[in-house]
Amino acid sequence: MAAERIEDTIKKMMVERLFLKMKPEDIGDDTLLMEDLGVDSVSVFEIVVGLEEVFGVTFEDDEFDIQNFRTPRSVADYVRRKLASRDGA
Amino acid sequence: MSLSDEVFFVLSGGLKLLAVFQPANDRARFGILMVHPFGEEKKCAHRAFVETARALARHGVASLRFDLRGCGDSEGDFGEATVRSWIEDVRAAWGVLRERLPDAPLGLLGLRLGATLASRACRDVGPVRALVMWQPIVEGRAEISGELRRLLVQEMVSRGRAGRRRDEIQSRLERGEGTVALDGYPLTPAMYRDICAMRLSDDVPAWPACAGIVQFGRSSPRIEAFAREARCRLGIVALPPIWVRSDFIPGPSAGDLLAREAVLPFLDAE
């Protein structure tokens, strides 16, 4: 069985942790989290904590850049970089 | 709507604290003092407290909820409050509840920092028949670190990037320099030190036999581990975190759920 795409794992995690009233598959890879889903700073914090728990990565304080949290695709790219950095270390 | 709520002031340290006594619909078989959480979390959780108190009344449990000094409608300056002064407030409110219910067993119910204050107050008031802690702060230092991280995320959302690091902020607070605004509420160096020093495990020897922790939505491994070690009961309630979700307004059904699943089982555990 193929491994789940990181984007899809992130969408599931967001729906669960943010109590979004939609299905993960209804969220596009390029859906804007803040503008389209109404994600606010409280929810972004929940996403950060969720990513750390689900993927086992740690985000440093000076890495908090909104460009990494615009869409599921940008969040997934960020996670991939963190995983590569962790696994390559 | 309940017409039986009674609103008055409790005196603590020369300050008037707003309090609401909710009598039980019939004779009170138990009385509960409710202790609210810190800062913005109090605002988010307000309605949940009201609905829980009213639901408890229908189950024969009277309650007293009140605003700590510097919070809500109470007198005092939030920036001058300390954990010690808030414990003094809990003690004063407990005394009023005891006056109201001279014969009923009494317990403490708190949410987040309120739960940790309730736990700490078990050393100072008594006898406490039940302690119910909703998502308590287990380690103050870790909690503050998380709150500062949340602040950095807020800065990122509003400005594009977080402009500072937690260790810088913590160093300044530890040196007694300035305050940090958490959702607009001042975290002073004194309060920072007080909360950092709070460890729920320190209070366990003072807990009553009926002590329980309730989690919201999903279980935290950290709290599970703590509850195992402290040998206290653990429950989980299927509601979003009521202290951060200002878009979730609990109604009577949520209050009833909280009363039935997050309070009553812990009062009847003996």
Domain ranges of chain A: 6-88
Q: Contact, B166 vs B152, CB < 8 A?
A: yes
Question: Do B112 and B42 belong together in one domain?
Answer: yes
Residue range B220-244: average pLDDT?
A: 91
Q: Domain of B181? A: 140-197
State whether residue A78 sits within 8 Å of chain B by CB.
Answer: no
Of B62, B110, B112, B60, which Cα lies nearest the Cα of B90? B110
Give the residue from B148, B151, B153, B171 with the most A CB atoms within 10 Å of its CB, the best one to mutate: B153
Question: Do B135 and B16 belong together in one domain?
Answer: yes
pLDDT tens track of chain A, all 89 residues? 567 899 999 999 999 988 888 999 999 999 999 999 989 888 999 999 999 999 999 999 988 999 999 999 999 999 999 999 877 76
State whether residue A65 sits within 8 Å of chain B by CB.
Answer: yes
CA quadruple B65, B70, B76, B79: dihedral, nearest 10: 150
Query: In chain B, which residues have their Cβ closer than 8 Å to the Cβ of A19?
Result: 240, 245, 248
Question: Do B43 and B126 belong together in one domain?
Answer: yes
CB atoms within 10 A of CB B104: 20
Q: What is the phi-psi region of residue A43: left when phi exceeds 0, alpha when psi lies from -120 to 50, beta otherwise?
A: alpha
Top-confidence residue, A62 or B42 = B42
What stretch of H or E contains A6? Answer: helix A6-17
pLDDT at B270 over 50: no
A66 vs B150, B156, B248: nearest CB: B156
Phi, psi of A82 (to 5 degrees): -65, -40
- The number of domains in chain B is 2
Question: Do B178 and B219 belong together in one domain?
Answer: no
Among residues B150, B173, B197, the one where a domain terminates is B197
Q: Are strands B106-111 and B30-35 parallel, antiparallel or unpaired?
A: parallel
Say how far residue B149 (Cα) sits from the centre of its chain: 21
Question: Do B163 and B124 belong together in one domain?
Answer: no
Q: Helices marked H in chain B — which ranges?
A: 40-58, 83-100, 113-121, 140-159, 166-174, 189-196, 221-230, 252-262, 264-267
Question: Do B75 and B174 belong together in one domain?
Answer: no
Question: Do B96 and B129 belong together in one domain?
Answer: yes
Query: In chain B, which residues have their Cβ closer than 8 Å to the Cβ of A64?
Result: 152-153, 155-156, 161-162
How near does any CA of chain B get to the CA of A13, in Å?
13
Question: Do B148 and B255 belong together in one domain?
Answer: no
What CATH number corresponds to the domain at position B53?
3.40.50.1820
| Superfamily covering domain A6-88 | ACP-like (1.10.1200.10)
Query: In chain B, which residues have their Cβ closer than 8 Å to the Cβ of A67?
Result: 160
Q: What share of chain B is helix, strand, coil (3-state, %, to 5)?
A: 45, 20, 35
pLDDT at B117 over 80: yes
Among residues B177, B197, B217, the one where a domain terminates is B197
B205 located within any domain: yes
Query: In chain B, which residues have their Cβ closer than 8 Å to the Cβ of A40?
Result: 157
A42 vs B149, B161, B244: nearest CB: B244
Q: Contact, B20 vs B64, CB < 8 A?
A: yes
Question: Do B59 and B26 belong together in one domain?
Answer: yes
State whether residue A80 sits within 8 Å of chain B by CB.
Answer: no
B1 located within any domain: no
Give the residue from A13, A42, A52 with the most B CB atoms within 10 Å of its CB, the best one to mutate: A42
Pair of tokens at residue A81: 């970089």
Question: Do B57 and B115 belong together in one domain?
Answer: yes
pTM: 0.91
Provide the ipTM: 0.88
Report the alpha-carbon distance of residue B258 to residue B211 in Å, rounded.
16
